[in-house]
A and B are shown apart, each in its own frame.
Chain A
Amino acid sequence: MFTITRGRLALVSAVAVGAVVALAGCASGDPLDEGNSSSSGSDTIVVGSQDYYSNEIIAEIYAQALENGGYTVERQFRIGQREAYLPEIESGAIDVFPEYTGSLLQALEPDAAGGTADETYAELQDALPDGLAVLDKADATDQNSWTVTQAFADTYGLTDIASLTKVTEPITVGGNSELETRPYGPTALKEKYGINIAGFTPVEDSGGPLTVKALVDNKIQLANIYTADPNIASNNLVALDDPDGLFFPDNVVPVVSDKVDDGAAEIINAVSAKLTADTLVALNSQSVNDQAAADTIATQWLTEAGLL
């Protein structure tokens, strides 16, 4: 009898101690407070990425190059679209983030003029809030584009965006919800070019396989697909020319906080110098067509480029 009670007591105290330990574990990490926990280690560089596989590959390349240079890196990948992560960068919770010159400029200054790649880059430098900077831009671009199928382009003799006015059937545009309100969205096509846009269909995968399939199935006729997407070549799609600069040039560019010192900046600039347009398509292709993981692709490329 007595032993049973003692055994029970031991069990109860064991459970109680376990619960206390577990609760203490909960208390020390507030899951919503990522900002503070990541900036606690003052010599840790936080690398972030968009919720976009290609952006993650670039971020992983930065991260591995920095680690190779002796820096401690924390990865905050796949954060979301620009609307979600821009406040994080501005607040200083993230130190390095692969970005695209034109799109970032338009997000920061909706009325920006744009222009050539260099002009856009210069404008972006002025537009960045205090405490943030951009390092060298890479040659690689991953631009928004209005993309159609080869067959559709042949039927109507399409070459550039303006030639879409020649299309006689109603055009349904497909893409992420935010595309509808972007300055180059369906409204701009209607108002600026007088293109007959019949409607908008949301396909929330950022120009991914669902969008490509919808285009190939002719459920949508016009989609926003990024120019570095290997699907353009493999599915016989045509990214329409943009002679009027409806889309700003989107060179890959690292946005950095002032925690990135000269040594780290040098490492990242060395990466950007080797990142050409063809390189980026090849990197993306390894992810899309070969299903390779971002870190594998990054290590392999860095080794080949002599940066590891």
Chain B
Amino acid sequence: MNLFASAIQWILDPANYVGLNAIPLRIGQHVAFSLVTVLIASAIAIPLGYLIGHTGRGRGLAVTTSGGLRAIPTLGLLTLVALWVGIGVVAPYVALTVLAIPPILAGAYTGFEAIDRRTVDAARSVGMSELQIVRKVEVPLGLPLLIGGLRSATLQVIATATLAAYVADLGLGRYLFSGLKTRDYAEMLGGSILVILLALTLEGIFALIQRFVVPRGVSGRLGTTPALRTGSATAAR
């Protein structure tokens, strides 16, 4: 408990708000790094997930590959990439993108798969092209699960982005490493608390987003298969 108090004291200490190691600066780096990572991962995983979800092909491959990606130890991958490209931010970006891809990919294709086939068939029978079906039916209806995937990816990246400090002067991980190595446990725990707070804040934001992106007709059915008896007309319009 004493340690916890000194960690809070460390967070509130004005001395930690100036210079190149200031807490706001580290938080800013951490958030920016994490968001860019999730963006890169999204750029790869969302189109791929949509393709799999829409065509229904390659699902087995996607499941196995993303399962495999999940099993890769991030620090090991980080070291391996850093030995190849050198120290700096590139290696952490690569390692954490690999970490973020599986949940986003899963969110993208399960979002499509969860849609009632009848809705898709109805869209097709009223004369929508495949592209229109994707854009006007599948993407909006699949959005809640996709946001769920993004949410889980962001949470993992925020928590694991501390590893960036292993090879770069970046993020909240700096407090963890230097606190650990110099037995400054107040700093270490303080840094951890900041990471936790950051993760919880982003969780909250995503919970709100998830609530707002549900198409009007489907709201209230979050988490269950969106059976779209009434919603299809609204969403497909």
Q: Which A residues contact B (CB, under 8 angstroms)?
A: 81, 83-84, 174, 176-178, 180-181, 199-205, 209-210, 213-214, 217, 219-220
Mostly, the B contact residues are helix
Contact A180 B178 (CB under 8 A): yes
Q: Which A residues are CB-close (under 8 A) to B206?
A: none
Interface check B168, CB cutoff 8 A? yes
CB neighbours of A220 from chain B (8 A): 87
A84-B87 in contact (CB<8A): no
Residues of B within 8 A of A199 (CB): 169
Q: Given contacts A202-B165, A202-B166, A202-B174, are A177 and B181 in contact (CB under 8 A)? A: yes
B167 within 8 A of A: yes
Of B78-86, B135-143, B210-218, the one contacting chain A is B78-86
**Is the beta-carbon distance between B183 and A203 smaller than 8 angstroms?**
no
Other A-B pairs, 20, CB within 8 Å; known A177-B178, A200-B169: A81-B181, A83-B183, A84-B180, A176-B181, A177-B181, A178-B182, A181-B182, A201-B169, A202-B169, A202-B174, A203-B87, A203-B167, A204-B165, A205-B79, A210-B79, A210-B82, A210-B167, A213-B86, A214-B87, A217-B86
Q: Which 8 A-B pairs have the closest CB atoms?
A: A177-B178, A178-B181, A83-B183, A214-B87, A177-B177, A217-B86, A204-B166, A178-B182
The CA of A276 and the CA of B178, in the complex, are separated in Å by 33
Q: Can you list 30 pairs linking A and B with CB atoms under 8 Å apart?
A: A81-B181, A83-B180, A83-B181, A83-B182, A83-B183, A174-B87, A176-B177, A176-B181, A177-B177, A177-B182, A181-B182, A199-B169, A200-B169, A201-B87, A202-B167, A202-B174, A202-B178, A204-B165, A209-B83, A210-B79, A210-B82, A210-B83, A210-B167, A213-B82, A213-B86, A213-B87, A214-B86, A217-B86, A217-B87, A219-B86
What separation, in Å, do the CA atoms of A177 and B180 have in the docked complex? Answer: 9
State in angstroms the CA–CA spacing of A181 and B180 once bound together: 13
Min distance, Cβ A46 to any Cβ of chain B, angstroms? 21
Question: Nearest Cβ distance between residue B157 and chain A, in whole angstroms?
Answer: 19
Counting chain A CB atoms within 10 Å of each CB, the highest count among B79, B166, B181, B182 belongs to: B181
Contacts of B166 in A (CB 8 A): 202-205
Chain A residues with CB under 8 Å of B87's CB are: 174, 201, 203, 210, 213-214, 217, 219-220
Per the bound structure, the CA–CA distance linking A220 and B183 in Å amounts to: 26
Residues of B within 8 A of A214 (CB): 86-87
Q: Which residue of A lies closest to B169 (CB)?
A: A201
Q: Which residues on A sit within 8 Å (CB–CB) of B231?
A: none
Which of B168, B180, B183 is the one whose CB lies under 8 Å from A201? B168
**Assembled-state Cα–Cα distance A177/B173 (Å):** 11
Contacts of B177 in A (CB 8 A): 176-177, 202, 204
CA–CA, A176 and B86, complex, Å? 16
Complex interface: chain A residues within 8 A of B174 (CB) = 177, 202
Describe A's contact surface by its main secondary structure: mixed
CB proximity to A under 8 Å, residues B119-161: none
In the complex, which residues of chain A have a beta carbon less than 8 angstroms from the beta carbon of B82?
Answer: 210, 213
A219: chain B residues at CB < 8 Å are 86-88
- Closest CB-CB distance, A191 to chain B, in whole Å? 17
A203: chain B residues at CB < 8 Å are 87, 166-167
List residues of B (171-220) whose CB comes within 8 Å of A's CBs: 174, 177-178, 180-183
Query: Which chain B residue has the least Cβ–Cβ distance from A178?
Result: B181
Contact partners of B180 in chain A: CB under 8 A? 83-84
- Chain A: CB-nearest residue to B88: A219
- Chain B 2-42 interface residues, beta-carbon cutoff 8 Å to A: none
Q: How far is the CB of A220 from chain B (nearest CB, A)?
A: 8
Contacts of B182 in A (CB 8 A): 83, 177-178, 181
- How distant is the Cα of A81 from the Cα of B181 in the complex, in angstroms? 7
Q: Which residues of B contact A180 (CB under 8 A)?
A: 178
Q: How far is the CA of A169 from the CA of B9 in the complex (A)?
A: 39
Say how far A126's CB is from chain B's closest CB, in angstroms.
23
Q: Which residues of A contact B86 (CB under 8 A)?
A: 213-214, 217, 219
Quote the shortest CB–CB distance from A290 to chain B (angstroms). Answer: 18
Q: How far is the CB of A201 from chain B (nearest CB, A)?
A: 5
A203 vs B88: C-alpha distance when bound (angstroms): 9
Known: A177-B174, A210-B79, A213-B83. A204 touches B167 (CB 8 A): yes
Bound form: Cα–Cα A220–B82 in Å:
14
Please give, as numbers and ranges, the residues of chain A lying within 8 Å of B183 by CB-CB distance: 83-84
- Cα–Cα, bound, A174→B181 (Å): 15
From residue A175, how far is it (CB to closest CB) to chain B in Å? 10
Nearest residue in B to A200 (C-beta to C-beta)? B169
Q: Is the CB of B178 within 8 A of A178?
A: yes
Most A Cβ at <10 Å: residue of B82, B87, B169:
B87
Chain B residues whose CB sits within 8 angstroms of the CB of A209 once the complex forms: 83
In the docked arrangement, what's the CA distance between A41 and B183, Å?
A: 30
Instruction: Name the CB-closest residue of A to B185.
Output: A83
- CB A213 to nearest CB in B, in angstroms, measures 6
